[in-house]
Structure formats: structure tokens, C-alpha cells
Amino acid sequence: MELLIMINACKIASSSRVTAVIPFSAKLVPAVLQWIRENIAEWKNCISLGSQRVTSIADRLNVEFALIRKERKKANEVDGMVLVGDVKDRVAILVDDMADTCGTVCHAADKLLSAGATKVYAALIHGILSGPAISRINNAAFEAVVVTNTILQEDKMKHCTKIQVTDISMILAEAIRRAHSGESVSYLFSHAPL
């Protein structure tokens, strides 16, 4: 409601265009892909918790993929997980848009290791990392958990050496500029300014 009131005030004051920047709304997969390319040379497979994202990422990186299908009883509580695909003797990368308490992503990492994956990384767009998240990540078999800097992570990084942060300020600024000037934002999915 506050946002609508502010937009209305801008329009009344003769603004020709208003661009609202709202946290957690942008899909920043290109930043995560860049981190993967720069930091993991030995991987052969890409695993995701979201089927729409994984096919897009796997196609862009020209790799095979597997899916983890999850069913939830309620928020932050997974009822069951099924791995679809072969991960034996492969490096697995879990890709998800948001991680809160990290129960799902840690459970998925265990599932991948028990299915024969040699290493597991997590690439998360928004690392909320609340409640037991840090403890869960520390106890999980991740090589690294990469998050973007959409949320400050300095304090959490002091308690968990597995967390790595990638800066997405340039792509976010370009997305805002493009949205405000009426240019294509989807252009950034293949031409990210990193």
C-alpha cells in the first residue's frame, strides 16, 4: 500500500515514469552461471530443485541435468524428495532461487551424495539463511554455498566458511536501467554485465 501511495504521489507530481525496485523479485541466474564458470572447472552435471530453471541453465551450459522433485507439507517442511536422473560420479550443483532455513537444500545434498555424486555445491539467488540455516550448512557436505549479495552476508560468513557471495550489483543496476527506459530486460539473460 505504501508503494502505491508513493507511486501515486510521483504521478501527481508529473513524473513521466516510475520504476519500483522491490527486493527478491529479480531472477539473477546469469550471475550464478558466471560464478559456476569461473569457480568449478571439473563439474559434469547440473542439479536443480526447480525444473524450469534447470533446463534453461543446462541448455546454456551444454550439460546434462537431473531434477529433485520435492513435496511440501507446509512452508519450510519437505514431505519427500525424489531424484530423477543419474548423478553417479558427477559433481552436482543445486540451483535454487531462495534459501531460508536450508532444510530442503541440505536434504537434497544428502540425497545427491547417497546417489553417488562426488561433490555438491549450492548456487542460491537469495540467501535468507534464517534460524538453523548456518548450522545446517556447516553440517552438510557442501563444498561451497554461493549466494548473491541481495542480502548482506558478512555476519553469516563469519560463522560459515562454506558461504561465498557473488556481487550482482552491475546486473541489477542494468536491469533497473533497462526496465526504466523501456528496453528488454530478458536481453540480460544472455548478455549479463558481470
Is 60 inside any structural domain?
yes
Q: Which of the residue ranges 26-40, 49-63, 70-84, 154-168 would you say has the lowest mean pLDDT?
A: 26-40
Residue 40 predicted with pLDDT over 60: no
End-to-end CA distance of the chain: 34
CATH of the domain at 50: 3.40.50.2020
E-assigned strands of the chain?
Answer: 45-48, 64-74, 77-84, 91-99, 119-127, 142-148, 163-166
Is 8 inside any structural domain?
no
Return d(Cα 147, Cα 160) in angstroms, integer: 13
Is 16 inside any structural domain?
no
Q: Is the sign of the CA dihedral 52, 114, 32, 71 positive or negative?
A: positive
Is 194 inside any structural domain?
no
Return d(Cα 177, Cα 58) in angstroms, integer: 28
Is 89 inside any structural domain?
yes
- Higher pLDDT: 140 or 41? It is 140
Mean pLDDT, rounded, for 20-44:
54
Is 171 inside any structural domain?
yes
- Segment 151-188, tens digit of pLDDT: 889 999 999 999 999 998 888 889 889 988 889 988 88
Q: Which domain holds residue 104?
A: 25-189
Is 19 inside any structural domain?
no
Average pLDDT, the chain: 82
Is 33 inside any structural domain?
yes
Give me the pLDDT at residue 34, please. 58
All 3 cell numbers of residue 109?
545434498
pLDDT bracket for residue 41 (50, 70, 90):
very low
Give the helix/strand (H/E) hosting 43.
none
Residues in the chain, overall count: 194
Domain count, the chain: 1
pLDDT bracket for residue 117 (50, 70, 90):
very high
